[in-house]
Structure 1
Amino acid sequence: MKLWIVVCLTVMLGSCSSQPTQIERTQPNIVILFADDLGYGDLASYGHPYIRTPNLDDLAAEGQRWTDFYVAAPVCSPSRGALMTGKLPNRTGLYGRQINVMFPNDTVGMPYDEETLAESLKNQGYATAIIGKWHLGDAPDFYPTRHGFDYWYGSPYSNDMDWVGVRGFEELMTLAAQGKMAELQAEVTARQPKYFDPKLEYWNVPLIRSERNGKGFTDEIVERPTDQRTLTKRYTSEAIQFIERKKNDPFLLYVPYNMPHTPIFRSDAFVDKSLGGRYGDVIEELDWSVGKIVSKLEEIGLAKNTLVIFTSDNGPWRAMQHHGGSSGLLRDGKGTTFEGGMRVPAIFWWPDSIDPAVVSDIGSTLDIHATVLALAGTNATNTDGLDLTRTLKSRAPSPRQGLAYYRGGELRAFRKGPYKLHLVTEGAYNLPPKRTEHENPILYNLMDDPSEQFDIAAENPEVVAELLRALEEHQQGMTEQPPIFDQRLKVLQP
């Protein structure tokens, strides 16, 4: 992290300093930097040998780096919905049993009866902005500006959606409904080479600007198709401008980057820069972006009154091979309930407030909601999240002792303490292992075996019984909503 260099020139009548005046408020600013498909092993501070991330490494050294931090779902839309609401996807309906995420031209989105983090903070006097990918409804009625954000500049869904010159989503779903799986698989397989040699013209993803305007909204498409090569740079510029505009008010700045979700693009300045190849270029540009945003906070004296959180929406997309990132020593990746699918990097930085440490307690993106609201002076209600404030400020043990692993609305695994119990195991995106429902659940000790290789259930029946009781207690407390994403299938029904 760039440090302030204070130069004092003592002259006849006094001295001068470049040290910024720190702005102190009761309510901290909140900056959430949210990568897309970033793997557990993709940062230098998490063990990558070739990708250089000096800015994130500095944040990790000066703040807290969590080793056991999780998302609420192993794919995009339900994970983001959980971050925004502090609730598991099954509780809000932001999931699908047949359709995993939201797609272009959806007629549904974030439910209006769910209060988002942005809405809660607006009620506490915060200015709010999202700079980046939303993926919780692309119809204007479901834009983030309709859910508590004052300003949005970004994409409505993933950067590989809205393909040009190929069958659309409804056509693919029709093939599935007709049982033409071989034809569907051939269509999907034919697209893979385009991921590995991406061209801007392959996708028609829009770049949108939306803002509150009095009692209404102003929405515009800035660019279509989006020039994805410059997205990270433009998001960085927009984020810095928002900080400058709102420096005198408490603010929430949510920056959900499109990268490194495939197709991966980077600006000219980062082409062939990394030893880690094209994927490394993309990660190093994200690191550059983080550095610029934090430097702006330092420059205008906001650093000591701003909590910065960096994490990811799920694990790496292993089907994308060298374009898909690494889960390090963790097993599998995106789409699965193995550790590589749901355990993600997490760095918390807040100078003079966070007690620096490497934290190996359990935490979750669900907890960001409760923690931020507590810091803002209010309490989260009807939440699955827990307040991590004492852990951040004084290294008290995390209040989270357990974690449920859901995929497609199905509870597949449960963790309590160091132990993890698998009821159902399955790979994703046509990668092994095949789906197995375990009559005798699999048990791992994640402290001894973070790669989930050695089943110790037979030797530990009392631990299995304890986790089954905890899992049952969790299920009894779950009030489930119907899956919103699957509503799109109704139009295909005769």
Structure 2
Amino acid sequence: MNIKFVLFSMLFSIALVSSAQENKKPNIIYILADDMGIGDLGSYGQKFIQTPNLDKMSANGMRFTQHYSGAAVCAPSRSSLMTGQHTGHTPIRGNRQFKENIDGQVPLPANSVTLAEILKEKGYATGAFGKWGLGFNEGDPNNQGFDEFYGYNCQRLAHRYYPPYLNHNQEIDSLEGNDWTNKVTYAPDEIQKERLKFIEDNKDKPFFAYMSLVLPHAEIISPNDSIFKLYENRFKETPYTVANDYTSDYGPDIVLHEYASVEKPLATYASMVTRIDAYVGEIIDKVNELGLADNTIIMFASDNGPTTLGGANPDFFSSNSDFRGYKRDLYEGGIRAPFIVVWPNKVKKGSITNHVSTFWDVLPTLTEITDSETPDDIDGISFLPTLTGKENQSQHDYLYWEYNIKGGRKAVRKGNWKGVWYNMNTKKQGHLELYNLAEDISETTDVADKHPEIVTEFMQIMKEARTASALFPFEN
């Protein structure tokens, strides 16, 4: 046999294998915490709460310091993530029940093009696990590109961690021992089992796993297990009781959408954050166990800033770091989010970026990575160059948010300037506040009167950055 032919065949085979590995679609895991503040993670400065797995993620990947959630509350933030549009364009722009006293929020319209639909078209197995909040019927995850769904479709039901049931695709999955009085099965643990099962079931094909956690959203409640015991006697506690507004305990008189009282709210909240961290560790361990790590992108973020409800105490934990505001605020504390990305051999370990990015950038980033078609009507830009250390990163001209309740709120960030306008629709109308984030990250000094030209520009952006919404009208 000709030795040159043998060597050529061997080199050709190696090239084919190398090319196949290079072109193999990466698995994508996007983990979304619920109401976790940017300051709740050790890698972002947390002092009291243990988050070793998330800190290790940061050490093994890239940590973003200027990443923003899609909105200041749950449903529109998720809509922004799924559609690649900000709240001036995405269909769901607020938290609103579809029908009074019936489970389920206003549904994402059937004609929406979601990230899951795009990736499914590209051959990905798609699964969503946790809180959906974008409606039943046409908005149901199975009708929005997800092959598999397990968790809470209705985010109002997700106020409770010991519900009698969860949704599994179009079926109801009863949780053993839970009956609105007895608390036996902690729903987040059951959802976690399904996340791990999805990875196992789809290990031989590319998959997209959207892991929308419920923790640490109020109610503030946790199993009395080893994680809780880490904090059980650590803090001086003030019990949060049913004497507080919007509080109702499990039992025959339970008000389902309210929150349970809690004896040790600080310890319980801390344990919920550490439980998130434990879930992240289990997901990473499963990916490693199956030999998928080198071809898997893992992203972690939070849907908005920390809550002050149900006994949560973000000020004690500095959950919003140095930022002003909480959930429902358009100040930085309501929308500045943690964001960590791990992608072995692509994203530099231990890297930190100050690239300004947001939820509506995730869709175009993943479509570029997977060579998928990107819809024309999105507001996002791909941050793939930032992930891979390239210098051709595009920048946003501006970022825009709106929120049509609480008197009507809008915000714009352009460069280091941040404009916030509250009470736009009240008799005593507010004014556009202006902050220089380069000098005033906590938004303490309104400098609008010193920069009228920027105020005028931002008012014009707030007017032109949106289209009208019949479902979520924003009227001056």
* TM bracket, shorter-chain basis: 0.7 to 0.9
Match of 1:415 in 2: 413
The answer as to whether partners of 1:232 and 1:286 remain within 8 angstroms in 2 is no
Deviation at 1:106, TM superposition (A): 4.2
Shift, 1:160, TM fit:
5.6
In 1, Cα distance between the equivalents of 2:28 and 2:106? 28
Q: 1:391 aligns with which of 380, 386, 408?
A: 386
Equivalent residue letter for 1:291: G
In structure 2, distance between residues paired with 1:333 and 1:350: 31
* 1:154 partner letter: G
* Deviant stretches of 4+, over 6 Å: 97-103
Give the alignment partner of residue 247 of structure 1, picking from 182, 191, 203. 203
SS, match of residue 454 in structure 1: coil
Q: Letter of the aligned partner of 2:385 in structure 1?
A: R
Per the TM alignment, residue 398 of structure 1 is displaced from its structure 2 partner at its CA by 5.3
What residue is the counterpart of 2:338 in the other structure?
A: 345
Q: Within 5 Å, which residues of 2 pair with 1:7-406?
A: 25-96=23-94, 104-106=102-104, 108-137=106-135, 139-158=136-155, 200=162, 204=163, 206-210=165-169, 218-223=170-175, 230-267=186-223, 268-274=225-231, 277-322=267-312, 326-356=319-349, 357-381=351-375, 382-394=377-389, 396=391, 397=393, 399-406=395-402
Conserved? CA contact 1:318–1:333, under 8 Å: yes
Deviations 1:447-473 (A, max 9, x none): 22111101223333444445445x15x
For 1:10, the equivalent position in structure 2 comes to none
The residue type paired with residue 367 of structure 2 is L
Contact 1:128 1:148 in 2 (8 A): yes
Shift of 1:108: 4.2
Quote how far apart the aligned CAs of 1:247 are. 0.9
Distance 1:287 1:96, change over 3 A: closer
Contact 2:127 2:209 in 1 (8 A): yes
* 3-state SS of paired residue (2:448): coil
- Seen in structure 2, the aligned counterparts of structure 1 residues 477 and 447 have a Cα distance that, compared at 3 Å, is closer
What's the offset of the Cα at 1:478?
3.0
Distance 1:209 1:235, change over 3 A: same
- Local SS of the residue matching 2:422: strand
Q: Tell me by how many angstroms 1:225 deviates.
A: 5.0
State the structure with bigger RCO (CA 8 A, min sep 6), 1 or 2: 1
Could you tell me how far 1:98 is from its partner in structure 2?
7.8
- Report the Cα distance in structure 1 between the residues aligned to 2:292 and 2:219, rounded to whole angstroms: 35
* Stretch deviating more after TM superposition (150-159 or 279-288): 150-159
Does the Cα contact within 8 Å between 2:105 and 2:154 map onto a contact in 1?
A: no
Task: Check whether the contact 2:220–2:310 (CA below 8 A) recurs between aligned residues.
Answer: no
106 and 282 in structure 1: CA distance in 2 versus 1, 3 angstrom threshold: closer
Aligned residue for 2:221, secondary structure, equals coil
Give the structure 2 partner of residue 443 of structure 1.
434
**What TM-score does the superposition give when structure 1 sets the normalisation length?**
0.75
Asked if structure 1 preserves the Cα contact closer than 8 Å seen for 2:37 and 2:305, the reply is yes
Count how many residue pairs are aligned between Structure 1 and Structure 2.
408
Runs (5+) with no aligned partner, structure 1: 1-21, 164-198, 211-217, 427-433, 487-494
- Give the direction of change, closer, same or farther, for the CA distance of 1:352–1:359 in structure 2 (3 Å limit): same
Instruction: Give the residue type in structure 2 aligned to 1:380.
Output: T
Is the 1:83–1:366 Cα contact (8 Å) retained in structure 2?
yes
Alpha carbons 2:110, 2:138 under 8 Å: kept: no
**8 Å Cα contact 1:30-1:306 kept in structure 2:** yes
What SS class does the counterpart of residue 322 from structure 1 fall into? Answer: coil
Q: What is the rounded CA distance, in whole Å, between the counterparts of 2:333 and 2:77 in structure 1?
A: 15
Give the aligned residue type for 2:230.
K
What RMSD, in angstroms, separates the aligned Cα atoms of the two structures? 3.0
Q: Does 1:481 align with 2:437?
A: no
Distance 2:184 2:129 in 1: 14
